[in-house]
Amino acid sequence: MANTSSAKKMTRKIAGRTLVNIARRSRVRGFIRKLVEAVKAGDKDAAKSAFAIVEPEIMRAVSKGVIAKNTASRKVSRLSASVKAMNA
């Protein structure tokens, strides 16, 4: 348990940041889910437009420190490959 006033303040700040990060991560997952559903449905136009939204959203999460850079790159790469595979 925090003893000093500064440590107590930090626990409050961490709790607030955690809530924001959970919301950001959830938002990214929602966009990814929409893209995966479009790919499974075979809807090329919806998949392309969903990917155009997902990619910058994932990179925004990286800049905010929610997702690691390599993890985001891997996700974008795999999602891009799944969209490209629909066209082939």
pLDDT at position 32 is 97
The distance from CA 58 to its chain's CA centroid, rounded to whole angstroms, is 4
Domain tally, the chain: 1
CA pair distance 9, 70, nearest whole angstrom: 32
Domain carrying residue 77: 5-87
**Beta strand spans in 1-88 (E):** none
Asked whether the whole model's pTM tops 0.95, one would answer no
Q: Is the pLDDT of residue 2 over 90?
A: no
Q: 53: helix, coil or strand?
A: helix
pLDDT digits (tens, 9 = 90+) for 14-69: 999 999 999 999 999 999 999 999 999 999 999 999 999 999 999 999 999 999 99
Give me the CATH number covering residue 53. Answer: 1.20.58.110
pLDDT at position 76 is 97
